[in-house]
Amino acid sequence: MTTNKELCVNKRNKLLSKEELEGMSKEELIDKVIQLQAHNLQLKNIIQKRDPDGKISEESPSKKKRKFDFSKAYKRHILLKFLYLGWDYQGYASQEDSVSTIEYHLFRALEKTCLIEKRENANYHRCGRTDKGVSAFSQTISIDVRSKFPPEDQMLPESLENELNYCVMLNQSLPDDIRCISWHPLEDDTFSARFNCQERSYRYFFPRGKLSIPAMREGCVHLQGSHDFRNLCKMDVANGVVSFTRTIESAVIKEIAQDGSDDPHSMMFLEIKSNAFLWHQIRCIMSVLLLIGLEKEKPEVILELLNVQKNPRKPQYSLASDVPLNLYETSFEDKDSWVLNQQTLERVIRDLETQWMFSSIKTTMMLEMAKDLKRMLLEKFPEASEVGCSGEELIQGAKMKNYKRLMERSKGESLEDRIEHYVKKRRLNVNQQCYWTTVSSTTNLS
């Protein structure tokens, strides 16, 4: 089979031919049009000399800030930990046609504060690459930043205590929903936030609704261990990913307020831990768990999906929503050397509490409206059935009028078929002389 051969990824020329466009699916063409529209808007803003906030730049060349001389500055290698609320962003990673990404604002702040000269020489690695709408409490990057002290003195306690306050400096230049929490000094400048991360933990939040939590917990048990997750992710074959075996260290359903309440509005979350995840893996897993919780599927359906010898082709089903997903913890070997600042933590807590207050007011207002409408419904129509969130609303896409079980649905292409597809499109080369390493994807997890 083709999967036993080594592969090369061919970088696509940005200019597509007429034949290539005719060969694209409707979904691919729609994505392309959206991308071009966003790019066109960005170019218009550039032409009109507008900054990303839409304000016309009136700064004259004579008033520009004097360029910082990095040749006279010391550098140190650090881990930087920060949080963000991702539902108003187009994802973590920078994009050519959008400034609405976490990475864009992060590097804008790093350069504005003169902590780095430019991204290209900053020795930068990110721990995870969350997709559109996904949040993080513990995103971590490794990077070279400006330091007050020479390399030989940087690990001294007095140097760490009196170092530049990286979090305060960055938080003054970042949006309110992106906040630096702490930093960690590193002696080894090859230490990578991506490759040296020992474990990544995600949480997916959801209301209890009408879900059978015991059934969902039984399904979680089947996820743990090493499995081929090709039927529980989006196969990123176009970028050379052909190995889909990952190890789930733990997958558990927990409740926020452990008071034993069966209130359908009480909040739960799936906590899932692994060293590495696949593209959309958690949202696929959560979609199936929600179907199990709705008792439309048995917990054993996860065993069926993990049996790729029996079921090599993924049944068609929709992803769970991206909004509830959160990169909650990233673990490294030395957990005790993070530099924390009391004032920074107090300010971040105040910022989060303020945002929570306004969001909570909105949700409480909506819930009270819904309760009053339910009372009106039952008073006027006593025979009416109970109405409320079931949990199914978190599954994207159109709802089936007559539900068809997962393993009875039409199936997508097998891994071998997808590889052959991209080989024919010249996106992949099958070449025994080509050096290629399977990517352990920790990215685009929405």
Q: Which residues are catalytic?
A: 131
Query: Measuring CA to CA, which residue among 149, 169, 167 is closest to residue 157?
Result: 149
User: Taking the CB of residue 205, how many other CB atoms lie within 10 A of it?
Assistant: 15
Burial of 305 (0-12, 13-18, 19+ CB in 10 A): buried
User: Taking the CB of residue 233, how many other CB atoms lie within 10 A of it?
Assistant: 24
Residues 6+ apart with CB under 8 A from 425: 23
Tokens read off for 240:
């050379």
Residues 6+ apart with CB under 8 A from 247: 225, 226, 274, 275
- Alpha-carbon distance of 83 to 99, in angstroms, equals 18
Q: Which helix (H) or strand (E) holds 372?
A: helix 342-380
Query: Measuring CA to CA, which residue among 350, 294, 344 is closest to residue 317?
Result: 294
Tokens read off for 329:
């913890």
- The H helix count followed by the E strand count for the chain is 10, 13
Local structure of residue 129 (DSSP, 8 states): B
Query: Measuring CA to CA, which residue among 164, 95, 184 is closest to residue 444?
Result: 95
Residue 30's DSSP bridge partners are: none
3-state secondary structure of 149: coil
Tokens read off for 384:
């009416």
- Alpha-carbon distance of 131 to 128, in angstroms, equals 10
CA distances from 216 to 208, 299, 353 (A): 11, 7, 31
- Alpha-carbon distance of 296 to 405, in angstroms, equals 7
Phi-psi region of 91 (alpha: psi -120 to 50; beta: other; left: phi over 0): left
Tokens read off for 292:
């199990």
Residue 442 CA from chain centroid, whole number: 9
Query: Measuring CA to CA, which residue among 219, 371, 231 is closest to residue 298?
Result: 219
